[in-house]
């Protein structure tokens, strides 16, 4: 096939198929690297990486000799694709550490052995107490996990090697098929497998991603080529901290359009520069209305807040409007909030009309003039996408 024709075909190939062909065919590899790579979704979750709808999982499989009883906790881990963590010859699990440029670890455990053993003993006692009173299966499994980890530390102290053979397992799947490959363990091989994403992106300057989903990435390990830039439309940072975002920042090619977070610490340039900020929940929103209104994002959406009654909703709205006026926010500034119950909407609108001199626009909407400008805040209350919830929308017009 002519070079230009191959480039055209490559552009429309599934990214996973491109990666597989690049591994097998040097000629295709050269073409693939010059054709822009565009992903609908890149999801990092524990030891799993999903590119669009195809998942790659790297783990360490504990292979026991025939006739040796396999502990239930190891059976379950093997069935789930193997341990996401490094396992030494004594069976102690350790989080992979950043070794070369481009390695990113979202949560390295820096505790000493003594600190981890103490924490495990405390956890074990809690699970035992819970199991004694409740008989909970979750508590029993928690006891097994703690006991297994403590036994591994004892083995390392006494120099007793584990009875199992470590295997590097690569599991790949989509809706249609699943493949499992195992290789004899070596630390270098395991780390190379963990850097699978780096191999996919190697040789590229920019990768376009519609959604970078890192909600499950806490304690994950990935590798990105140092020269790579990710052009991301939307990102879900989940539980990632500012320290984790600092590691990711050099790879982002400019601000993202939409950022979704679970944590309520917004003091990071990646978060502040997003046009739309989606916050999973905000329990004490009444006491934080001013700080929410001061966030620099053009549009803030809160998936869930807790309020007691119509008066609390009104207080929240009042505080936001006051802060917007003080901050001199301009047209297009938006706030939307999902309230997990239905309230008497006319009552809320009457409170706004009476206290803020609002002008009714419809049975569900009203406008209020900003304090320091001629612009108005349009407020609308109505049903959410989910039954039994109210959607509050505020926008400066």
pLDDT tens per residue, range 218-245? 888 889 999 999 999 999 999 999 999 9
pLDDT tens digit sequence for 70-116: 999 999 999 999 999 999 999 999 888 878 899 998 876 778 899 99
pLDDT tens digit sequence for 161-181: 999 999 999 999 999 999 999
Surface-to-core class of residue 42, CB atoms within 10 Å of its CB (0-12 exposed, 13-18 middle, 19+ buried)? buried
Instruction: Please tell me the predicted confidence (pLDDT) of residue 38.
Output: 95
DSSP 64: P
Q: What number of other Cβ atoms are within 10 A of residue 145's Cβ?
A: 16
Instruction: Please tell me the predicted confidence (pLDDT) of residue 26.
Output: 87
At the second CATH level, the architecture of 281-397 is 2-Layer Sandwich (3.30)
Instruction: Please tell me the predicted confidence (pLDDT) of residue 372.
Output: 62
Strand bridging mode 299-302 / 334-339: parallel
Shortest CA distance to 41 belongs to which of 208, 193, 171, 274? 208
In angstroms, rounded to a whole number, what is the distance separating the alpha carbons of residues 261 and 239?
7
In angstroms, rounded to a whole number, what is the distance separating the alpha carbons of residues 221 and 83?
13
Phi, psi of 289 (to 5 degrees): -60, -40
Instruction: Please tell me the predicted confidence (pLDDT) of residue 48.
Output: 93
- Contact (CB, 8 A) for 180 and 56: no
- Helix residue ranges per DSSP H, 135-241: 137-158, 187-194, 196-201
Q: CA 270 from chain center: how many Å?
A: 14
Confidence class of residue 305 from pLDDT cuts 50, 70 and 90? Answer: confident
Q: CA 382 from chain center: how many Å?
A: 30
DSSP, collapsed to helix, strand or coil, labels residue 312 as helix
pLDDT tens digit sequence for 328-386: 899 999 999 998 777 788 899 999 999 999 999 999 999 999 876 679 999 999 888 87
CA dihedral 230, 215, 169, 227 (to 10 degrees): 20
- Contact (CB, 8 A) for 291 and 327: no
Half-sphere exposure of 110 (CA within 13 A, CB side): 4
Instruction: Please tell me the predicted confidence (pLDDT) of residue 70.
Output: 97
- Contact (CB, 8 A) for 177 and 171: no
Instruction: Please tell me the predicted confidence (pLDDT) of residue 23.
Output: 86
- Contact (CB, 8 A) for 310 and 347: yes
Phi, psi of 111 (to 5 degrees): -70, 150
- What are the structural domain ranges in the chain? 1-34, 281-397
Where in 271-389 does DSSP place strands (E)? 276-279, 299-302, 334-339, 359-360, 365-369, 376-383
Q: CA 1 from chain center: how many Å?
A: 41
Shortest CA distance to 29 belongs to which of 38, 39, 37, 19? 19
pLDDT tens digit sequence for 242-298: 999 999 999 999 999 999 999 888 999 999 999 999 999 887 777 889 999 999 999
Confidence class of residue 1 from pLDDT cuts 50, 70 and 90? Answer: low
Phi, psi of 20 (to 5 degrees): -65, -45
Instruction: Please tell me the predicted confidence (pLDDT) of residue 284.
Output: 78
In angstroms, rounded to a whole number, what is the distance separating the alpha carbons of residues 32 and 315?
56
DSSP, collapsed to helix, strand or coil, labels residue 6 as helix
In angstroms, rounded to a whole number, what is the distance separating the alpha carbons of residues 388 and 26?
57
Highest mean pLDDT among 143-147, 199-203, 343-347: 143-147
- Contact (CB, 8 A) for 269 and 249: yes
Share of the chain above pLDDT 70, in %: 99
Instruction: Please tell me the predicted confidence (pLDDT) of residue 277.
Output: 98
Shortest CA distance to 376 belongs to which of 356, 391, 390, 362? 356
């Amino acid at each position: 096939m002519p070079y230009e024709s191959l480039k055209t075909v490559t552009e429309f190939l599934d990214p996973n198929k491109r990666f597989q062909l690049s591994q097998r065919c040097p000629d295709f590899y050269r073409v693939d690297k010059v054709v822009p790579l565009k992903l609908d979704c890149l999801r990092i979750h524990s030891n799993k990486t999903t590119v669009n709808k195809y998942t790659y999982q790297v783990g360490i499989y504990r292979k026991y000799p025939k006739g040796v009883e396999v502990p239930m906790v190891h059976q379950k881990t093997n069935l789930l694709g193997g341990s996401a963590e490094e396992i030494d010859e004594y069976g102690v699990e350790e989080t992979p550490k950043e070794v070369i440029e481009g390695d990113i670890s979202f949560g390295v455990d820096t505790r000493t052995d003594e600190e981890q053993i103490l924490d495990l003993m405390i956890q074990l006692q809690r699970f035992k107490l819970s199991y004694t009173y409740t008989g909970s299966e979750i508590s029993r499994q928690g006891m097994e996990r703690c006991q297994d980890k403590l036994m591994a530390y004892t083995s390392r102290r006494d120099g007793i090697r584990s009875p199992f053979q470590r295997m590097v397992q690569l599991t790949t799947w989509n809706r249609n098929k699943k493949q499992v490959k195992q290789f004899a363990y070596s630390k270098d091989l395991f780390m190379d497998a963990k850097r699978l994403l780096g191999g996919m992106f190697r040789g590229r300057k920019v990768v376009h991603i519609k959604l970078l989903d890192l909600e499950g990435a806490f304690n994950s390990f990935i590798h990105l080529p140092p020269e790579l830039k990710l052009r991301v439309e939307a990102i879900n940072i989940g539980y990632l901290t500012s320290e984790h975002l600092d590691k990711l920042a050099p790879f982002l090619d400019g601000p993202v359009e939409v950022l979704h977070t679970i944590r309520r610490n917004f003091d990071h340039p990646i978060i502040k520069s997003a046009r739309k900020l989606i916050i999973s929940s905000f329990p004490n929103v009444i006491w934080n209305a001013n700080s929410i209104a001061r966030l620099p994002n053009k549009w803030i959406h809160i998936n869930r807040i807790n309020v007691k009654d119509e008066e609390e909703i009104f207080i929240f709205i009042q505080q936001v409007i006051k802060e917007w006026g003080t901050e001199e926010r301009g047209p297009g500034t938006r706030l939307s909030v999902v309230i997990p119950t239905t309230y008497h909407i006319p009552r809320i609108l009457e409170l706004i009309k009476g206290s803020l001199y609002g002008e009714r626009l419809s049975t569900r909407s009203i406008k209020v003039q900003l304090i320091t400008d001629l612009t108005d805040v349009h407020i609308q209350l109505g049903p959410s996408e989910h039954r039994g919830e109210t959607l509050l929308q505020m926008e400066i017009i």
